[in-house]
Amino acid sequence: MTAEAATPHRSPLAQQMGRFRRNRLAMASVVVLVLIVLACFLGPMAFPFTGEDADFDYISAPIDFSSPHLFGTDDFGRDLLVRVLEGGQVSLTIGFVGALVAGVIGVIYGAVAGYVGGRIDGLMMRMVEVLYGFPYVFLVILLNILFGGGNFALFLAIIFTLWLTPAVIVRAQAQTLARREFVEAARAGGMTGTKIVVQHIVPNTASLVIVYGSLLVPEVILSESFLSFLGIGIKEPQASWGNLIQAGTAQLETDPRLLLLPGTLLAVVLFSLNFIADGLRDAFDPNER
């Protein structure tokens, strides 16, 4: 008899999270991700300077753990480690907050379309298909121009382009749920469509949303880094992992350190998030129950 069979009183969510906790690779990834997040948001406080402060006594200083700049400085005398940690704050904030906002928009949009059905559903999904037809980078550039550029414009542009897939996924699930007995009973009992969507449709897509949301976070982080790398994202002097990697690429032959530190942190975060997503997918897989 399995542990889950021996404890039938446990809710399905508790059983799923129990399976996730038994996934050693996923749990190790959680620990690594938490440590990197803490380092990015708390680490800069340990230094008496910011990532934008120039130290003209240490221009292009190499790695030296006995100096004030442990991992050296860039061409402007700015501490590389602090800039990478502050850049992580920007990339991680955009990643997690952007994924949350895009996920919420997509879930609500898809749940409404799937529940209502008919002509309204057709019109709503045609709009999604039209937006899918635009090249991603072109759409982001266009939205950046419309919103006037800047970090907020980049944030809105990323959200605007990444809510589409959650909407399509949740809409398919909502169509199935709309025909279930408990929804029919709620409708017969006089519950309004809004309450049915909020109280029945959305909560019953939670497993699907959690799994896909874990995939959306690295997608948003990678999108911000890619756009900043192209020069249409976060602008100097503010740092993000994307523009730090872009600056490091330009000096790869003369100073690979400028690329390796932000590139390594970005790669570790993306790998950790993907391992966590795999663990969640396995934990919520109906075939594992």
**Cis ω before 237 (30° cut-off from 0):** yes
* pLDDT above 50 (res 289): no
Average pLDDT over residues 6-28: 75
pLDDT for the residue 10: 66
Beta bridge partners of 78: 54
Tokens of 128: 């999604």
pLDDT given at position 117: 82
Q: What is the DSSP letter of 234?
A: S
Cα 224 to Cα 166: distance, rounded to the nearest angstrom: 19
All domains in the chain, ordered by first residue = 23-288 (1.10.3720.10)
* pLDDT value at 191 more than 90: no
pLDDT at 30 exceeding the cut of 90 = yes
Q: pLDDT value at position 6? A: 47
Pick the more confident residue, 258 or 14.
258
The enclosing H or E element of 191 equals none
Q: Of 85, 57, 62, whose CA–CA distance to 73 is shortest?
A: 62
Q: Which of 100, 80, 122 is nearest to 247 (CA)?
A: 80
Query: What tokens were used for 230?
Result: 């192209």
Q: Enumerate residues 6+ apart whose C-beta is below 8 A from 231.
A: 243, 246
pLDDT at 190 over 80: no
Q: Above pLDDT 70, what percent of the chain?
A: 93
Give the span between the Cα atoms of 199 and 211, in whole angstroms.
20
pLDDT at 56: 85
DSSP 8-state secondary structure symbol assigned to residue 231 = T
Burial of 283 (0-12, 13-18, 19+ CB in 10 A): buried
- Mean pLDDT, the chain, rounded, equals 83
* Interatomic CA distance for residues 177 and 184, integer angstroms: 10
Q: Is the predicted pLDDT of residue 34 greater than 90, yes or no?
A: yes
Query: Model confidence at 86, in pLDDT bands (50, 70, 90)?
Result: very high
Per-residue pLDDT of 211-248, as tens digits, reads 777 788 888 888 888 877 777 777 777 888 888 888 88
Least confident of 81-85, 167-171, 194-198, 203-207: 203-207
**Quick one: residue 74, left, alpha or beta (phi over 0 = left, psi -120 to 50 = alpha)?**
beta
Closest CA to 212 of 268, 126, 284: 284
pLDDT higher than 80, residue 121: yes
Which percentage of the chain shows pLDDT scores above 90? Answer: 14
Q: Model confidence at 195, in pLDDT bands (50, 70, 90)?
A: confident
